[in-house]
Amino acid sequence: MTRSVFRPDLLRGKSVFIAGGTSGINLGIAEAYADAGASVAIAGRDAEKAENAANHLRGRGGEAIGVSLDVRDYASVEAGLELARNRFGEFDIVISGAAGNFLAPALGMSANGFRTVIDIDLNGTFNIFRAAYALLRKPGASLIAISAGQATNPMMFQAHVCAAKAGINMLVKVLAMEWGPAGVRVNVISPGPIGGTEGMARLTPTAEEEASWKARIALRDFGQKSDVSEMAMFLASDASAYVTGSIFQCDGGWTLGNSSGETLGGEAR
Protein backbone atom coordinates (compact mmCIF):
# COMPACT_ATOMS: atom_id res chain seq x y z
CA MET A 1 0.00 0.00 0.00
CA THR A 2 1.07 3.59 -0.65
CA ARG A 3 1.80 5.32 2.67
CA SER A 4 -0.66 8.21 2.77
CA VAL A 5 -1.67 10.75 5.37
CA PHE A 6 -5.22 10.58 3.98
CA ARG A 7 -8.00 8.27 5.27
CA PRO A 8 -7.74 4.78 3.73
CA ASP A 9 -11.39 4.90 2.52
CA LEU A 10 -11.26 8.52 1.33
CA LEU A 11 -12.23 7.72 -2.28
CA ARG A 12 -14.56 4.73 -1.69
CA GLY A 13 -17.24 4.70 -4.43
CA LYS A 14 -15.43 7.26 -6.62
CA SER A 15 -14.91 6.69 -10.35
CA VAL A 16 -11.54 7.82 -11.69
CA PHE A 17 -10.03 8.09 -15.20
CA ILE A 18 -6.29 8.66 -15.60
CA ALA A 19 -4.97 9.38 -19.11
CA GLY A 20 -1.31 8.39 -19.16
CA GLY A 21 -1.83 6.33 -16.00
CA THR A 22 -0.05 3.18 -17.11
CA SER A 23 3.42 4.07 -15.80
CA GLY A 24 5.48 6.47 -13.73
CA ILE A 25 4.05 9.34 -11.71
CA ASN A 26 0.48 8.82 -12.90
CA LEU A 27 0.53 5.11 -12.09
CA GLY A 28 1.67 6.21 -8.62
CA ILE A 29 -1.48 8.36 -8.39
CA ALA A 30 -3.57 5.42 -9.63
CA GLU A 31 -2.09 3.25 -6.87
CA ALA A 32 -2.91 5.82 -4.20
CA TYR A 33 -6.47 6.29 -5.49
CA ALA A 34 -7.09 2.53 -5.76
CA ASP A 35 -5.68 2.00 -2.27
CA ALA A 36 -8.16 4.66 -1.04
CA GLY A 37 -11.09 2.69 -2.49
CA ALA A 38 -11.65 4.31 -5.90
CA SER A 39 -12.42 2.41 -9.11
CA VAL A 40 -9.66 3.44 -11.50
CA ALA A 41 -9.43 3.32 -15.30
CA ILE A 42 -5.89 3.89 -16.56
CA ALA A 43 -5.16 4.69 -20.19
CA GLY A 44 -2.18 4.68 -22.53
CA ARG A 45 -1.38 3.79 -26.14
CA ASP A 46 0.01 0.34 -25.40
CA ALA A 47 -2.86 -2.05 -24.62
CA GLU A 48 -0.63 -4.70 -23.04
CA LYS A 49 1.11 -2.16 -20.80
CA ALA A 50 -2.32 -0.82 -19.74
CA GLU A 51 -3.61 -4.29 -18.96
CA ASN A 52 -0.46 -5.18 -16.97
CA ALA A 53 -0.76 -1.95 -14.96
CA ALA A 54 -4.46 -2.61 -14.25
CA ASN A 55 -3.52 -6.15 -13.15
CA HIS A 56 -0.94 -4.63 -10.83
CA LEU A 57 -3.64 -2.41 -9.26
CA ARG A 58 -6.06 -5.32 -8.92
CA GLY A 59 -3.24 -7.31 -7.28
CA ARG A 60 -3.10 -4.65 -4.56
CA GLY A 61 -6.84 -5.17 -3.95
CA GLY A 62 -8.10 -2.27 -6.07
CA GLU A 63 -10.75 -2.17 -8.78
CA ALA A 64 -9.13 -1.23 -12.09
CA ILE A 65 -9.26 -1.54 -15.86
CA GLY A 66 -6.72 -0.72 -18.55
CA VAL A 67 -7.82 1.27 -21.58
CA SER A 68 -5.96 1.67 -24.86
CA LEU A 69 -6.21 5.10 -26.52
CA ASP A 70 -4.11 7.83 -28.08
CA VAL A 71 -4.85 11.23 -26.54
CA ARG A 72 -4.06 12.84 -29.92
CA ASP A 73 -7.01 11.04 -31.51
CA TYR A 74 -10.34 12.50 -30.32
CA ALA A 75 -12.40 9.51 -31.47
CA SER A 76 -10.21 7.09 -29.53
CA VAL A 77 -10.39 9.36 -26.47
CA GLU A 78 -14.21 9.39 -26.63
CA ALA A 79 -14.35 5.61 -27.04
CA GLY A 80 -11.94 4.98 -24.14
CA LEU A 81 -13.80 7.32 -21.81
CA GLU A 82 -17.18 5.74 -22.72
CA LEU A 83 -15.83 2.28 -22.03
CA ALA A 84 -14.62 3.30 -18.57
CA ARG A 85 -17.81 5.24 -17.74
CA ASN A 86 -19.91 2.20 -18.68
CA ARG A 87 -17.85 0.10 -16.27
CA PHE A 88 -17.41 2.41 -13.27
CA GLY A 89 -20.06 5.15 -13.73
CA GLU A 90 -19.78 8.89 -14.23
CA PHE A 91 -16.33 10.22 -13.38
CA ASP A 92 -15.65 11.98 -10.09
CA ILE A 93 -12.00 12.56 -10.93
CA VAL A 94 -10.25 12.80 -14.33
CA ILE A 95 -6.51 13.21 -14.68
CA SER A 96 -4.78 14.26 -17.89
CA GLY A 97 -1.16 13.16 -17.56
CA ALA A 98 -0.03 11.68 -20.88
CA ALA A 99 3.18 13.31 -22.08
CA GLY A 100 6.12 12.95 -24.41
CA ASN A 101 9.63 14.31 -24.00
CA PHE A 102 13.10 14.21 -25.48
CA LEU A 103 16.08 16.54 -25.18
CA ALA A 104 16.76 18.46 -28.37
CA PRO A 105 17.74 22.01 -29.29
CA ALA A 106 15.09 23.85 -31.32
CA LEU A 107 17.29 23.62 -34.43
CA GLY A 108 17.64 19.85 -33.90
CA MET A 109 13.91 19.41 -33.62
CA SER A 110 11.82 18.90 -36.75
CA ALA A 111 8.43 20.57 -37.08
CA ASN A 112 6.94 17.14 -36.51
CA GLY A 113 9.03 16.60 -33.37
CA PHE A 114 7.75 19.89 -31.91
CA ARG A 115 4.18 19.16 -32.99
CA THR A 116 4.25 15.66 -31.52
CA VAL A 117 4.85 16.89 -27.97
CA ILE A 118 2.32 19.74 -28.32
CA ASP A 119 -0.17 17.16 -29.61
CA ILE A 120 0.31 14.71 -26.76
CA ASP A 121 0.61 17.14 -23.85
CA LEU A 122 -1.51 20.18 -24.75
CA ASN A 123 -3.98 18.99 -27.39
CA GLY A 124 -4.26 15.69 -25.49
CA THR A 125 -5.29 17.54 -22.34
CA PHE A 126 -7.93 19.51 -24.27
CA ASN A 127 -9.21 16.28 -25.85
CA ILE A 128 -9.42 14.39 -22.55
CA PHE A 129 -11.16 17.15 -20.62
CA ARG A 130 -13.42 18.18 -23.54
CA ALA A 131 -14.61 14.61 -24.10
CA ALA A 132 -14.86 13.78 -20.38
CA TYR A 133 -17.07 16.77 -19.57
CA ALA A 134 -20.29 15.03 -20.70
CA LEU A 135 -19.40 11.99 -18.58
CA LEU A 136 -18.64 13.78 -15.29
CA ARG A 137 -20.64 13.54 -12.09
CA LYS A 138 -21.77 17.14 -11.67
CA PRO A 139 -21.58 19.03 -9.41
CA GLY A 140 -18.47 17.84 -7.61
CA ALA A 141 -16.12 16.47 -10.29
CA SER A 142 -12.42 17.31 -10.02
CA LEU A 143 -10.19 17.52 -13.09
CA ILE A 144 -6.41 17.54 -12.69
CA ALA A 145 -3.84 18.23 -15.41
CA ILE A 146 -0.23 17.14 -14.88
CA SER A 147 2.05 19.93 -16.03
CA ALA A 148 5.75 20.55 -15.24
CA GLY A 149 8.08 23.27 -14.00
CA GLN A 150 8.99 23.90 -17.66
CA ALA A 151 5.62 25.69 -17.92
CA THR A 152 6.94 28.62 -15.92
CA ASN A 153 10.74 28.25 -16.08
CA PRO A 154 12.27 28.18 -19.56
CA MET A 155 14.74 25.35 -20.15
CA MET A 156 17.09 24.84 -23.09
CA PHE A 157 16.42 21.76 -25.29
CA GLN A 158 12.83 21.71 -24.00
CA ALA A 159 11.09 24.17 -26.37
CA HIS A 160 8.29 21.71 -27.10
CA VAL A 161 7.68 20.76 -23.45
CA CYS A 162 7.92 24.36 -22.17
CA ALA A 163 5.38 25.56 -24.76
CA ALA A 164 3.05 22.61 -24.22
CA LYS A 165 3.04 22.75 -20.43
CA ALA A 166 2.63 26.56 -20.38
CA GLY A 167 -0.40 26.03 -22.62
CA ILE A 168 -1.81 23.46 -20.20
CA ASN A 169 -1.51 25.87 -17.26
CA MET A 170 -3.49 28.53 -19.13
CA LEU A 171 -6.02 26.06 -20.58
CA VAL A 172 -6.83 24.88 -17.07
CA LYS A 173 -7.53 28.41 -15.86
CA VAL A 174 -9.97 29.01 -18.71
CA LEU A 175 -11.76 25.69 -18.16
CA ALA A 176 -12.01 26.44 -14.43
CA MET A 177 -13.85 29.66 -15.29
CA GLU A 178 -16.13 28.09 -17.90
CA TRP A 179 -16.99 24.95 -15.91
CA GLY A 180 -17.03 26.35 -12.37
CA PRO A 181 -20.73 27.27 -12.56
CA ALA A 182 -21.52 23.55 -13.14
CA GLY A 183 -19.55 22.62 -10.02
CA VAL A 184 -16.54 21.23 -11.90
CA ARG A 185 -13.12 22.10 -10.48
CA VAL A 186 -10.04 22.14 -12.73
CA ASN A 187 -6.50 22.36 -11.33
CA VAL A 188 -2.88 21.68 -12.23
CA ILE A 189 -0.22 19.68 -10.44
CA SER A 190 3.19 20.81 -11.63
CA PRO A 191 5.81 18.29 -10.52
CA GLY A 192 9.50 19.00 -10.37
CA PRO A 193 12.10 16.29 -10.91
CA ILE A 194 10.68 13.01 -9.61
CA GLY A 195 13.14 10.15 -9.15
CA GLY A 196 12.76 6.74 -10.79
CA THR A 197 10.68 8.01 -13.71
CA GLU A 198 10.92 7.90 -17.49
CA GLY A 199 10.93 11.70 -17.56
CA MET A 200 14.04 12.04 -15.38
CA ALA A 201 15.78 9.13 -17.13
CA ARG A 202 15.45 11.17 -20.34
CA LEU A 203 16.57 14.48 -18.78
CA THR A 204 19.41 13.25 -16.55
CA PRO A 205 21.04 10.28 -18.29
CA THR A 206 24.26 10.48 -16.19
CA ALA A 207 25.02 10.62 -12.45
CA GLU A 208 26.83 13.95 -12.97
CA GLU A 209 23.76 15.52 -14.53
CA GLU A 210 21.60 14.15 -11.72
CA ALA A 211 23.89 15.74 -9.11
CA SER A 212 23.92 19.05 -10.97
CA TRP A 213 20.09 19.09 -11.03
CA LYS A 214 19.89 18.30 -7.31
CA ALA A 215 22.22 21.19 -6.46
CA ARG A 216 19.66 23.55 -8.03
CA ILE A 217 16.69 22.30 -5.97
CA ALA A 218 15.97 24.08 -2.68
CA LEU A 219 15.34 20.78 -0.89
CA ARG A 220 18.43 19.30 -2.64
CA ASP A 221 16.78 16.06 -3.75
CA PHE A 222 14.42 14.63 -6.36
CA GLY A 223 10.85 14.05 -5.26
CA GLN A 224 9.14 10.68 -5.04
CA LYS A 225 6.02 9.53 -6.85
CA SER A 226 4.20 9.52 -3.51
CA ASP A 227 4.87 13.27 -3.14
CA VAL A 228 2.76 13.84 -6.25
CA SER A 229 0.09 11.29 -5.34
CA GLU A 230 -0.46 12.94 -1.95
CA MET A 231 -1.14 16.24 -3.71
CA ALA A 232 -3.48 14.41 -6.09
CA MET A 233 -5.33 12.96 -3.07
CA PHE A 234 -5.87 16.48 -1.76
CA LEU A 235 -7.24 17.67 -5.11
CA ALA A 236 -9.55 14.63 -5.36
CA SER A 237 -10.99 15.17 -1.90
CA ASP A 238 -13.46 17.58 -0.33
CA ALA A 239 -10.50 19.23 1.41
CA SER A 240 -10.03 21.13 -1.87
CA ALA A 241 -13.74 21.84 -2.45
CA TYR A 242 -13.14 25.60 -2.87
CA VAL A 243 -10.00 25.27 -4.99
CA THR A 244 -10.13 25.71 -8.76
CA GLY A 245 -7.96 27.20 -11.50
CA SER A 246 -4.85 26.79 -9.33
CA ILE A 247 -1.35 25.61 -10.18
CA PHE A 248 0.23 23.46 -7.46
CA GLN A 249 4.01 23.09 -7.63
CA CYS A 250 5.26 19.83 -6.17
CA ASP A 251 8.94 20.42 -6.82
CA GLY A 252 11.05 20.88 -3.67
CA GLY A 253 11.49 24.53 -4.61
CA TRP A 254 13.05 23.70 -8.01
CA THR A 255 11.17 26.43 -9.88
CA LEU A 256 12.24 29.08 -7.38
CA GLY A 257 15.45 29.02 -9.37
CA ASN A 258 18.93 29.03 -7.95
CA SER A 259 20.81 31.36 -10.23
CA SER A 260 23.12 32.42 -7.38
CA GLY A 261 24.15 28.77 -6.94
CA GLU A 262 26.18 27.25 -4.13
CA THR A 263 29.32 29.21 -4.93
CA LEU A 264 28.11 32.54 -3.55
CA GLY A 265 27.51 30.96 -0.15
CA GLY A 266 24.23 32.81 0.12
CA GLU A 267 25.93 36.21 0.32
CA ALA A 268 25.20 39.19 -1.87
CA ARG A 269 27.50 39.61 -4.84
Is there binding between residue 195 and ligand HXC (CB under 6 A)? Answer: no
Residue whose beta carbon is closest to ligand NAP: 24
Q: In what order do the strands lie in the sheet with 15-19?
A: 63-68, 39-44, 15-19, 93-96, 142-146, 185-191, 247-250
The neighbour count for residue 8, using CB atoms within 10 Å, is: 11
Question: What residues line the site for ligand NAP (CB under 6 A)?
Answer: 20-26, 44-46, 49, 69-72, 97-100, 120, 146, 148, 191, 193-194, 197-200
Q: What angle do CA 144, 147, 148 make, to 5 degrees?
A: 145
Residue 263 lies near ligand HXC (rule: CB under 6 A): no
Whichever of 153 and 246 has its CB closer to ligand HXC, that residue is 153
- The contact pattern for ligand HXC, residues 135-174, with x = CB under 6 A and - = no contact, is -------------xx-----------x-------------
Q: Which does 116 bind (CB under 5 to 8 A by kind): ligand HXC, ligand NAP, none?
A: ligand HXC
* Amino acid, res. 175: L
The piece of 6-14, 58-66, 105-113, 180-188 that touches ligand HXC (CB under 6 A) is 105-113
144 and 188 in contact (C-beta within 8 Å)? yes
Residue 32 bridge partners (DSSP):
none
* 247 belongs to the binding site for ligand HXC (CB under 6 A): no
Choose between 73 and 140: whose C-beta lies nearer to ligand NAP. Answer: 73
